[in-house]
């Protein structure tokens, strides 16, 4: 029971890291290597507002979401759309976007270092909370609940609304979407901006229980990448389920075998998925 | 003026201006002492170096320049500090050091941040004859390294004395009847954590302690609750974590949440950071950690105040002071020699005693034996409770709960 609850909470954290990237990569076809930095930016906002004016991260979230949406929309509009236009095929776009966002990640690190070079660490709701006999941290629980809400809302929006359907259509085939009258360029910008906003909000929530610093983004990018690829590119359910599996396995290994083997276990599952289901848990086989 | 003429004229102007700047630069260079500093400003170690390393160096340079610089035989000279970010990457670091030596032609180098980096650059410093006063570098290979590199100095102790400091505190608490024999020990699976754990196992066992939980966890583990739960289930009297900054924060937070109620609770690096006190407030009263200072001596109090006023942030309660002291040592040696003769300065470092904010420091076989090993949060201040040859340690107190 202990393991299941702690594992699910960790899975929620992972889902927060990966849902945004899934949208950006799955729909806008941008392999965003600055994903982790966007997350850390959300954390920096939470830290700064908390330390300077004691604003609860749960409120900061509502500032971060629109700001990150706008920032990511601008990034897509002015930095990435030229790459999309220029690209002859998806492979070229991926290479170009990897290079462009890799460079962007350094710029973002530089900006954040100039604001706060040390650790973003503060205490917010670091209180014990008991569910079914297991003690968990309240801040982790809240992040988990919000991860579930965000994930659910995203799922419903994607599957039960017209713009959501357009987003899914672009994820399946951008060429065919154009033929049925979807403004692919606008939908892509929307997906990229929405993905960035979700990632930044994830950072705001994660900063309440993980100590971050300006340079730590790359670790989150890596984890998000693993989850997105494991879950299947462009499917939000895949990312959430992959995140939950990873959280459960890591917690089980740490509790039952040895905490030193968590990383090894995570990569083992990743390897197994790549071997037996290379398109990811929910991915479509490439045609 | 047509466009081509304009471009040519503009180019000439720029070239002339550049030349003038270059000449001015050379003229200025003769009047300054150049110090090169290479350390992380980004990357995994940046969070620590921006607390402990950079501000103390910048503070000393600023204070020295405000007084007119260093007094040499041919007059007083200002210090020019040349900083490079190594991105916490050994390859970048070595490139930057070589650039500082060959391009910038710095007179002296400030030793880097972190044990690994100090060991990695020792051959280059030695090759070009630069003295290296290492601060944030703790290893049991000190004897071997100082023998191989005659310009390498250590100021923060070795791994064994670091572990012995913790053991002595635990033994004392046991003798006083505060704790029993059972110790839970965890470590981060990284060079520093692994070395400490390996040294600690026999040291604790020989001191009669029973290690009831002994696990490592990977660097950057996002959830340490299984580790803390496991340690708690072993029902220990004392908890020791050989941890790094992000996990030091995470372990402490989990211990409070799980109510790991031990009378002796120790976390290693970053326990001495002001951010640690800022994050946990009164919850961490009685927490033991690596480092310590005696903030009540006038010299340290003055340093801490200047650090806060001038650099706009508090120093840590450990190696910040050692870093500043290492700059004082270098400055005093340069002044005493009266020139930038690196060989003479190295020789002077070996043979003389220096007046620092931590008291007089002299090197015995290139190693200073004045350093703090264990500190404890007591009423909002992290005070030294165990040291090597420094007075002013306060008695250790038992931790009572997390409220």
Arithmetic mean of pLDDT over chain B: 89
Q: Are B317 and B300 in contact (CB under 8 A)?
A: no
**Residue B395 in domain:** no
Domain ranges of chain A: 2-276
Smallest CA–CA distance, residue A117 to chain B, in Å, is 6
Q: Do A9 and B223 touch (CB under 8 A)?
A: yes
CB atoms within 10 A of CB A155: 16
Residue A244 has pLDDT above 80, yes or no: yes
B231 and B301: one domain?
no
Residue B120 shares a structural domain with residue B262: no
Contact state of A210 with B189 under an 8 Å Cβ cutoff: no
> Do both B340 and B382 map to the same domain?
no
Nearest CA in chain A to B186: A259
Dig out the tokens for B72 from the structure: 């040499």
| pLDDT at residue A43, as a whole number | 94
What is the C-alpha to C-alpha distance for residues B253 and B257, in angstroms, rounded to an integer? 6
Average pLDDT in chain A: 89
Do B131 and B34 belong to one domain? yes
Domain count of the fold of chain B:
2
Residue in A closest to B217 by C-alpha:
A260
Across the interface, do A262 and B217 touch by the CB < 8 Å criterion?
yes
Residue to test with chain A: of B51, B257, B259, B278, most A Cβ within 10 A: B257
Closest-CA distance, A5 to chain B, in angstroms, reads 11
| Phi, psi (deg, nearest 5) at residue A147 | -60, -40
**How close is the nearest chain A Cα to the Cα of B272, in Å?**
13
User: Which residue in chain B has the smallest CA separation from A211?
Assistant: B246
| Residue from B43, B47, B307 to probe the interface with A (highest A Cβ count within 10 Å) | B47
Beta carbons of A119 and B275 less than 8 angstroms apart: yes
Q: Are residues B211 and B265 in the same domain?
A: yes
Kindly tell me the burial class for residue B311, based on how many C-beta atoms sit within 10 Å of its own C-beta (0-12, 13-18, 19 or more).
Answer: middle
Span A44-54, average pLDDT: 91
CA distance A251 to A2: 9
Instruction: Give a yes or no: residue B329 inside a domain.
Output: yes
pLDDT computed for residue B6 by the predictor: 55
Q: Do A214 and B218 touch (CB under 8 A)?
A: no
pLDDT per residue over B89-137, tens digit each? 999 999 999 999 999 999 999 999 988 899 999 999 999 999 999 999 8
Range of the domain at B126: 11-158+297-372
Q: What is the pLDDT of residue B25?
A: 45
My answer on whether B327 and B379 are in the same domain is: no
User: Smallest CA–CA separation between A267 and chain B, in Å?
Assistant: 13
What is the rounded average pLDDT of the residues A200-209? 93
Three-class SS state of B198: helix
The alpha carbon of B352 is separated from its chain's Cα centroid by a whole number of angstroms, namely 23
Percent of chain A with pLDDT over 90: 46
Using a CB-CB cut-off of 8 Å, the residues of chain A touching B186 are 259
> Do B73 and B17 share a structural domain?
yes
Contact (Cβ atoms closer than 8 angstroms) between residue B168 and residue B208? no
Fold for A2-276, please state it: ABC transporter involved in vitamin B12 uptake, BtuC (1.10.3470)
- Which residue of chain B comes nearest to A109, CA vs CA? B42
Question: Does the residue B393 lie in any domain?
Answer: no
- On whether both B43 and B129 belong to a single domain, the answer is yes
Q: Are residues B109 and B61 in the same domain?
A: yes
Chain A residues with CB within 8 Å of chain B CB: 2-3, 6, 9-10, 13-14, 109-110, 113, 117-119, 121-123, 126-128, 135-137, 140, 209-216, 219, 247, 250-251, 254-255, 258-260, 262-263
Strand pairing partners for A273? none
Whether B400 is in a domain gets the answer no
Same domain for B240 and B141, yes or no, is: no
Pairing of strands B288-290, B264-267: parallel
Whether B9 shows a pLDDT value over 90: the answer reads no
Chain B residues with CB inside 8 Å of A250's CB?
223
Distance from CA of B72 to the nearest CA of A (A): 35
The CATH number of residue B228's host domain is 3.40.50.2300
Q: What is the tens place of the pLDDT at every residue in B269-291?
A: 999 999 899 888 888 999 999 99
Q: Do A259 and B41 touch (CB under 8 A)?
A: no
Nearest to A15 by CA among A283, A282, A244, A266: A244
Residue A251, C-beta contacts closer than 8 angstroms, at least 6 positions apart: A3, A6, A7, A10, B223, B226
pLDDT above 90 as % of chain B: 69
Q: Closest to B222 (Cβ–Cβ): which among A13, A215, A258?
A: A13
Q: Which member of B46, B51, B221 has the closest CB to residue A113?
A: B46
Q: Are B227 and A259 inside 8 Å of each other by CB? A: yes
Q: Considering only CB atoms, which residues of chain B are within 8 Å of chain A?
A: 41-44, 46-47, 50-51, 54, 88, 186, 189, 215-218, 220-227, 229-230, 245-246, 249-250, 253-254, 256-259, 270, 273, 275-276, 278-281, 313
Q: Model confidence over A62-97: pLDDT tens digits?
A: 999 999 999 999 999 998 888 888 888 878 888 899
In a domain, B190, yes or no: yes
Q: Which residues pair with B110 in a beta bridge?
A: B37
- Tell me how far apart the alpha carbons of residues A58 and A70 are, in angstroms, rounded to a whole number: 20
Q: Is the pLDDT of residue B15 over 60?
A: no
Answer yes or no: is B81 within a domain. yes
Smallest Cα distance from A131 to chain B, Å:
13
Backbone angles phi and psi of A5, in degrees to 5: -70, -50
pLDDT of A232: 85
Is residue B85 assigned to a domain?
yes
Q: DSSP of B182-196, one letter per residue?
A: EEEEEEESSHHHHHH
Q: What is the ipTM of this complex?
A: 0.85
Contact B42 A113 (CB under 8 A): yes
Residues B260, B117 share a domain: no
User: Do A80 and A13 touch, CB atoms closer than 8 A?
Assistant: no
Chain B residue numbers with beta carbons less than 8 Å from the beta carbon of A216 are: 44, 246
pLDDT tier at B17 (50, 70, 90 boundaries)?
low
Q: Is the per-residue pLDDT at B315 higher than 60?
A: yes
What pLDDT digit, counting tens, does each position of B21-80 carry?
Answer: 444 444 444 589 999 999 999 888 888 899 999 999 999 999 999 999 999 998 899 999
> Which residue does chain A place closest to B248, by CA atoms?
A211
Q: How many residues does chain A have?
A: 287
Q: Nearest by CB to B249, from A10, A121, A216: name it.
A: A121
Residue keyed to tokens 């300054």: B32
Work out the minimum CA distance from B26 to partner chain A, whole angstroms: 30
* A140 vs B contacts (CB less than 8 Å): 223
In chain A, which residues have their Cβ closer than 8 Å to the Cβ of B275?
118-119, 121
Same domain, B144 and B71: yes
């Amino acid at each position: 029971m202990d393991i299941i609850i702690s594992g699910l909470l960790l899975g929620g954290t992972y889902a927060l890291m990966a849902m945004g990237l899934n949208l950006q990569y799955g729909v806008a076809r941008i392999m965003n290597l600055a994903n982790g930095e966007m997350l850390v930016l959300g954390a920096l906002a939470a830290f700064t507002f908390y330390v300077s004016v004691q604003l609860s991260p749960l409120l900061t979230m509502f500032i971060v979401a629109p700001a990150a949406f706008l920032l990511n929309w601008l990034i897509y509009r002015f930095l990435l759309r030229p790459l999309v236009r220029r690209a002859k095929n998806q492979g070229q776009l991926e290479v170009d976007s990897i290079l462009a966002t890799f460079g962007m990640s350094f710029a973002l690190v530089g900006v954040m270092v100039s604001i706060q070079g040390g650790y973003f660490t503060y205490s917010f709701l670091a209180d014990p909370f008991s569910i079914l006999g297991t003690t968990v941290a309240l801040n982790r629980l809240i992040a988990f609940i919000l991860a579930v809400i965000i994930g659910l809302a995203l799922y419903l929006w994607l599957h039960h609304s017209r713009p959501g359907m357009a987003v899914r259509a672009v994820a399946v085939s951008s060429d065919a979407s154009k033929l049925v009258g979807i403004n692919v360029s606008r939908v892509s910008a929307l997906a990229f901006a929405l993905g960035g906003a979700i990632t930044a909000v994830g950072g705001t929530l994660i900063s309440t229980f993980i100590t971050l610093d300006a340079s730590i983004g790359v670790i989150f990018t890596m984890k998000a990448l693993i989850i997105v690829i494991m879950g299947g590119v462009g499917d939000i359910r895949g990312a959430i389920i992959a995140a939950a599996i990873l959280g459960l396995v890591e917690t089980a290994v740490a509790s039952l075998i040895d905490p030193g083997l968590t990383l090894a276990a995570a990569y083992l599952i990743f390897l197994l998925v790549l071997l037996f289901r290379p398109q990811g848990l929910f991915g479509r086989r490439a045609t | 003026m047509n466009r081509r003429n304009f471009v040519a004229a503009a180019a000439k102007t720029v070239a002339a201006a550049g030349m003038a700047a270059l000449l001015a630069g050379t003229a200025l260079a003769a009047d300054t002492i150049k110090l090169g500093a290479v350390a992380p400003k980004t990357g995994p170690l940046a969070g620590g170096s921006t607390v402990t390393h950079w501000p103390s160096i910048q503070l000393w340079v600023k204070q020295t320049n405000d007084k007119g610089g260093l007094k040499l035989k041919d007059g007083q000279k200002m210090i020019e500090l040349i900083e490079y970010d190594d991105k916490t990457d050994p390859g970048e670091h070595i490139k930057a050091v070589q650039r500082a030596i060959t391009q910038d032609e710095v007179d002296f180098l400030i030793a880097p941040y972190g044990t690994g980096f100090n060991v990695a650059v020792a051959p280059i410093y030695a090759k070009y004859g630069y003295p290296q006063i290492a601060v944030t570098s703790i290893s049991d290979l000190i004897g071997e390294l100082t023998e191989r590199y005659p310009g390498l100095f250590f100021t923060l102790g070795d791994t064994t004395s670091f572990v012995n400091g913790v053991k002595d505190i635990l033994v004392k608490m046991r003798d006083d009847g505060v704790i029993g024999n059972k110790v839970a020990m965890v470590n981060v699976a990284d060079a520093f954590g692994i070395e400490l754990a390996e040294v600690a196992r026999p040291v604790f066992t020989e001191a009669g302690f029973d290690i009831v939980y002994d696990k490592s966890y990977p660097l950057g583990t996002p959830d340490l609750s299984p580790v803390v739960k496991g340690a708690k289930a072993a029902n220990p009297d004392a908890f020791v974590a050989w941890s790094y900054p992000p996990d030091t924060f995470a372990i402490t937070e989990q211990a409070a949440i799980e109510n790991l109620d031990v009378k002796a609770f120790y976390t290693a690096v970053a326990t001495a950071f002001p951010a640690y006190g800022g994050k946990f407030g009164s919850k961490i009263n009685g927490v033991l950690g690596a480092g310590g200072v005696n903030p009540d001596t006038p010299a340290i109090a003055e340093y801490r105040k200047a650090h806060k006023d001038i650099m706009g942030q508090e120093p840590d309660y450990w190696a910040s002071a050692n870093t500043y002291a290492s700059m004082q040592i270098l400055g005093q040696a340069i002044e005493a020699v009266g020139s930038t003769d690196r060989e003479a300065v190295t020789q002077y470092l070996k043979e003389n005693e220096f007046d620092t904010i931590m008291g007089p420091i002299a090197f015995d076989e290139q190693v200073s034996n004045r350093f703090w090993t264990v500190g404890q949060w007591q009423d909002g201040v992290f005070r030294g409770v165990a040291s090597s040859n420094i007075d002013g340690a306060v008695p250790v107190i038992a931790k009572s709960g997390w409220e």
